Chain A
Amino acid sequence: MGIEKAAVKLDTDVLIIGGGPAGAWAAWSAASHGARTVLVDKGYLGTSGATAPGGTNFLYVPPNQEKREQAVEDRLEGGGYLSEAPWIHRLMEQAYQNIELLEQWGYRFPLDGNGNLFKAHLQGPEYMQIMRKVVLKAGVRILDQCPAQELLTDEHGVGGARGINRLDGNVWEVRANAVVIATGGCAFLSKGLGCNVQTGDGLLMAAELGADLSGMEFSRQYATTAAFGTITRNRMLGWATFYDEEGHVLHEGGPRESDFMAKQLLKGPVYAVLNHADTEEKRRILRLSTPVWFLPFDRAGIDPFTQRFPLTMRYEGTIRGTGGLRLVGHDCSTTVAGLFAAGDAASREKTAGARSGGGAYNASWAIASGTWSGKGAADYALAQGKEARVRQLRLAGAYGLERNAQSAETIDTKAIVEQVQREVFPLDINYFRSEPVLEASLKRLHSLWPAVKGSVPKTIQGRVRARETAAMVATARWMYTAALARKETRGMHGLREYPELNPALSHRLLLSGIEHIAIRPEQVPSRTYDVIPPVIVKEAARL
């Protein structure tokens, strides 16, 4: 099959792929550093991504040396010694500075009990609506509902991307000397709040250009939700009592051991009631901190403070994991020339290590890595001698694309996605990991792989889903390949056969390749007290 003509062709300096927080910050940063910038998003900048529908905590530590040193020490230990102190310091400083900007841009922070503004939490819809305005004001052109499907390349590296408009089916192409992958992680369509846009597309696109992945074994993260719903804010369950089917108390308020929920759910249904929010004041505070959590209960006619509701665990994949595209420079560059990564698409091991810091570390990472990658991409693009439009670029996509179909059989996206979900969702495969079970699962995933080389459904959604399907199969294969190679328990990863941390394995695991996956260790740089300065963006004059 020949190459389809692109109905929309744009030339720019920097292309940002993804319109969640990381992509938004990257676009703002690139444009503010003088680069012509285009942002494409599968959904809509403002609603896309895990942050937009709910609220999120931030790592917001004012510039107090002692507090920041303590935060760094805690994180080095909590992250299984795979993170790097200079990166954590820079993360805190960048997030701090950018959150100050958010206030200037009109985010109304609430007051704490002492009359000070409280800036460690943001409401998602408001945050992302402001980011859209800021990005547009910086001069960025946004293409909403335009998933990128494959990158453009030549012998000098990446040169843009091509995709499809989901609303009209038109093929678009953007040529750019620098590209930032900010497509998020991959949660395999598990319906955790806001997570279904993220299907690993950026990981696959970058890997097709030869980019490495790192930390894919740190992907053992689930969120507890009401069984009927999608809201993944576990914090509310801190006020719960838990029951089994017969109504026996499994746990009465207060802290739970870390595997409590998973162990109980393997035995049978678990119910909760938030009866430890036992005053009107407590209930009011909970409702007004996380209103999205209460919305489904109100609509289902359940009072979660007095009535039991069933629970489930939804898989959060690499979104709350820490693995992703391997970063090699302070500017969030990857091993591919001109290709940068930000947010959950990038490995977060340099700051978070082997365990996600919940919303706080991840949300701050989106801000910081977006800002760094945007500047990195702008600097790179503006230093190039010739514009991307005069390069001899070719399409780099290989899987889940009609052009490359190796058989006439149409990819059964629904069936394949369900099969992948059957490998990555079950607690007894992916949460309680063990060698024989993971090996068998990985074998089944490998056997699914040839199916994504089939013919692609003709509809717009079919074309998008075929590519997503390929990305999900690839991501699952990377995850379990890495998980089997890390024969120890560290951070969020564990194998039943190796319940202890092994100091000899204090390195990262790099993956490369799609068809055949190669794995090799990368030493974590030894502890230094270097200071990597934050990116200061002088853009106040613009707004």
Chain B
Amino acid sequence: MIELVSAERCIQCNLCVKVCPTNVFDKTEGGVPVIKRQEDCQTCFICEAYCPVDALYVSPFTDEAVQVDEEELAAKGILGSWRETIGWGPGRQKLAALDQTPFIDRILPPRPVRAAGISDVKVQTS
């Protein structure tokens, strides 16, 4: 669940308020957005991808609120790490171009052919 809007980093663009698919943030008068409906967070991490200043932190635990330490998250490079992974932000290579899915079938442990499933149509990759 969403656990942090860093007041130090936030530039009050309110983009998180605008893009959150489940409406967990509220904007405030002259201040940083607040996490108003934390229980509605679906832990999809996408707000982090959109935040231009890496001010948000979504904890991996979807059913329980946890205490987070902003300094520690910043020091470990966790703030902004998802945006970096997908390659959004200036000077970064987009994840799309790094996608290794074409090679995934080659390393798969053997599995039987099933009548229906995502592997029922295979694109030749070799």
Residues of A with C-beta under 8 A to B49: 125
Given that A230-B44, A300-B61 are known contacts, is A123 also in contact with B99, CB under 8 Å in the complex?
yes
| A59 cross-chain contacts in B, Cβ below 8 A | 121
- What are the residues of chain B within 8 A of A193 when measuring CB–CB? 42, 44
Q: Which of A29-37, A274-282, A365-373, A530-538 contacts B (4 or more CB under 8 A)?
A: A274-282
Tell me whether chain B's interface is mostly helix, strand or loop, or mixed. Answer: loop
Quick one: CB contact mask for A290-313 with B, threshold 8 Å, 1 for yes?
111001111110000000000000
**B75, CB-defined interface residue at 8 Å:** no
Find out whether the CB atom of A144 lies under 8 angstroms from the CB atom of B112: no
Which of A47, A254, A288 has a CB less than 8 Å from the CB of B20?
A47
Interface bits A21-48 vs B (CB < 8 Å: 1, else 0): 0000000000000000000001110111
* B108 interface neighbour in A78, A238, A287, A295, Cβ under 8 Å: A238
Within 8 A of A (CB), among B83-126: 85-86, 88, 94-104, 107-112, 114-118, 120-121, 123, 125-126
Indicate if the CB atoms of A125 and B46 lie closer than 8 Å.
yes
On whether the beta carbons of A43 and B22 are closer than 8 Å, the reply is yes
B5-47: CB near A (< 8 Å → 1, else 0) gives 0000000000001111111000100000000010010111111
Residues of A within 8 A of B109 (CB): 238-239, 253-255, 276
Contacts A229-B60, A299-B59 hold; do A238 and B120 have CB atoms under 8 A apart?
Answer: no
The answer to whether B42 touches A357 (Cβ under 8 A) is no
| Chain A residues closer than 8 Å to B71, beta-carbon distance | none
A interface: dominant SS? loop
The distance in angstroms between the C-alpha atoms of A282 and B95, with both chains bound, is 18
**Contacts A113-B103, A114-B125, A358-B117 known; A288 to B98 CB distance under 8 Å?**
yes
Q: How distant is the Cα of A52 from the Cα of B123 in the complex, in angstroms?
A: 23
The answer to whether A110 touches B97 (Cβ under 8 A) is yes
| A110: B residues at CB distance < 8 A | 96-102
In the complex, B72 has a CB within 8 A of chain A: no
B62 x A229 contact (CB < 8 A): yes
Q: Is the CB of B37 within 8 A of A122?
A: no
Q: Would you call A66 an interface residue if the criterion is a C-beta within 8 Å of the partner chain's C-beta atoms?
A: no
Tell me whether A482 is interfacial, beta carbon within 8 Å.
no
Residues of A contacting B121 in the complex (Cβ-Cβ under 8 angstroms): 59, 61, 67, 71, 74, 360
Task: Give A232-290 interface residues, CB cut-off 8 Å to B.
Answer: 235, 238-239, 253-255, 276-277, 281-282, 284-290
**Interface of chain B residues 57 through 82 with chain A (CB within 8 A):** 59-64, 78, 81-82
Complex CA gap A60/B5 in Å reads 40
Instruction: Verify A71–B120 contact, CB threshold 8 A.
Output: yes
CB distance from B57 to the nearest CB of A (A): 9
Q: Report how far A42 CA is from B59 CA in the complex, Å.
A: 24
Contact assessment for A254 and B99 in the assembled complex, using a CB-CB cutoff below 8 Å: no
Chain A residues with CB under 8 A of B101: 55, 57, 110, 118, 120-121, 289-290
Contact B103 A122 (CB under 8 A): no
Residue A194 lies at the interface, judged by CB distance under 8 Å to chain B: yes
B interface residues with partner A (beta carbon < 8 Å):
17-23, 27, 37, 40, 42-47, 49-50, 59-64, 78, 81-82, 85-86, 88, 94-104, 107-112, 114-118, 120-121, 123, 125-126
- CB pairs A–B below 8 angstroms (12 shown): A46-B19, A48-B21, A53-B45, A71-B120, A110-B97, A118-B102, A123-B94, A144-B18, A238-B109, A238-B111, A255-B109, A288-B98
- In order of increasing CB-CB distance, the 7 nearest A-B pairs are A78-B116, A358-B118, A296-B60, A43-B21, A118-B102, A288-B100, A53-B44
**9 additional contacts (CB under 8 A) given A47-B46, A123-B86, A230-B44:** A44-B19, A47-B19, A60-B123, A107-B96, A109-B96, A194-B42, A196-B40, A287-B100, A359-B118
